[in-house]
Amino acid sequence: MKMPFIDLKRQYKLHKEAFDNAVHAVLKHGQYIHGPEVTEFENQLQHFANVRHAVTCGNGTDALVLALQAMHLQKGDVVFVPSLTFAATAEAVALRGGIPFFIDIDDKTYNLSVKSLKEAVFEAQKQSLKAAGIIAVDLFGLAADYTAVNEVAKENNLWVMSDCAQGFGCTHNGHMVCSCHDCAIATTSFFPAKPLGCYGDGGAVFTNDDEVDTLIRSLREHGKGTEKYDNVRIGQNSRLDTIQAAVLIEKLKLFPNEIVLRNKIAARYTQAFQSHFQAPIHPKNDTCVWAQYTLKTANPLDRKQAMEAFSNNGIPTVIYYPKPLHLQTAYKHFPRANDMSACEQVSQTVFSLPMSPYLTEEEIDEVCEVSELLR
């Protein structure tokens, strides 16, 4: 039987009683929207992330849109985003009428390149574009270099947002990224395959600003004011339902240990494959949550052969992401940094291995044993 790339059923099987009881409690009280579990989960998120406010919403994309609204993004404003990421990062900017300005990545961490960011800021100034902010993506579970990003932001009067959809739980210099210690506002996703995922869609926005918290809570519910039928601004409908909150409460209890297990598996992979491929690199002071464990080959042909070797031994592999955003049909017309070579090369040479805290020792051994078959 072929090993699953991400097995979402194992956690449920191991903790079935807790999850079933949580869901049945919601079915029993019947408060499916804004039930008590939503508030409880938000409080637990705040404590876990060490942040003043955590506002849940319908999904990770909505979290980005809500955060951009809270940052008062105006039509025509430029937001710098890395090109190697899921479409939602740039999509949210465009949906708000902003202009995503694509920048290159670091070919070792796969997060945004500060060198490319500086060049893009200069290029935007040359084109008389109004730059507003930077969205740093914590790709594959590793925090972006917020220390360096913030230096650029301060020099150019830009805000910094964290797209922590893949990195909830990761840290930079000892601070949880979603604590907003290194950014003005942060967002995450609870899509089932994320490190902390629910049984449907879900997301959250994090802030230490009381006014921003109030604004997002209004925006996520049609822009309502203090009274339910007094809408004081144009908003949207984006609420985390109570059943998902109940599930996430139980999952958050397991999450710290799951991060430890993910790091142990990543260490095994690195030991097995670092002599064959470029293994993931992350700073010693940062904690990665390993949403994906991604290896880089020397060229596309090597990747094809490596993926075939894994497949022939029953090990699934996945490519994140085969085409950078600046090359995709919907985003080709947006501005980009002059040099996008790193993300274009990386997109042709990386592949990811199975990563789950519930991989068995036998499965981890099976993955690592492929290293003996590689040239």
Indicate if the pLDDT at residue 172 is higher than 80: yes
Judge whether 357 and 347 are in contact, CB under 8 Å: no
**How confident is the model at residue 375, as a pLDDT?**
64
The secondary element (H helix, E strand) that includes residue 56 is strand 53-57
**How confident is the model at residue 31, as a pLDDT?**
97
**How confident is the model at residue 153, as a pLDDT?**
97
Both tokens of residue 239? 């609420």
The one-letter amino acid at 152: V
Half-sphere exposure of 204 (CA within 13 A, CB side): 30
Where are the strands (E) in 168-317, listed by range? 171-172, 175-176, 185-189, 203-207, 293-296
The answer for residues whose C-beta is within 8 angstroms of residue 152's C-beta and 6 or more apart is 114, 117, 118, 121, 134, 158
Where are the strands (E) in 60-174, listed by range? 78-82, 99-103, 131-137, 159-163, 171-172
Q: What is the pLDDT of residues 28-51, one digit of tens each?
A: 999 999 999 999 999 999 999 999
- Choose among 126, 140, 56, 133: nearest CA to 92: 133
**How confident is the model at residue 283, as a pLDDT?**
81
DSSP state of 62: H
The answer for residues whose C-beta is within 8 angstroms of residue 245's C-beta and 6 or more apart is 35, 37, 38, 40, 41, 56, 202
- Is residue 73 very low, low, confident or very high in pLDDT (cuts 50, 70, 90)? very high
Rounded distance between C-alpha atoms, residue 308 and residue 316, angstroms: 9
The answer for residues whose C-beta is within 8 angstroms of residue 3's C-beta and 6 or more apart is 314, 315, 316, 354, 363, 366, 367
Indicate if the pLDDT at residue 69 is higher than 80: yes
**How confident is the model at residue 1, as a pLDDT?**
60
Give all domains of the chain, ordered by start, each with its CATH number: 10-250 (3.40.640.10), 255-373 (3.90.1150.10)
- Choose among 61, 67, 82: nearest CA to 137: 82
Q: What is the pLDDT of residues 232-278, one digit of tens each?
A: 999 999 999 999 999 999 999 999 999 999 999 999 999 999 999 99
Cβ atoms < 10 Å from Cβ of 4: 14
Pairing of strands 185-189, 131-137: unpaired
**How confident is the model at residue 281, as a pLDDT?**
85
Through-space distance between the first and last CA atoms of the chain, rounded to whole angstroms: 26
Indicate if the pLDDT at residue 182 is higher than 80: yes
The one-letter amino acid at 178: C
**How confident is the model at residue 296, as a pLDDT?**
97
The one-letter amino acid at 208: N
The one-letter amino acid at 295: L
DSSP state of 4: P
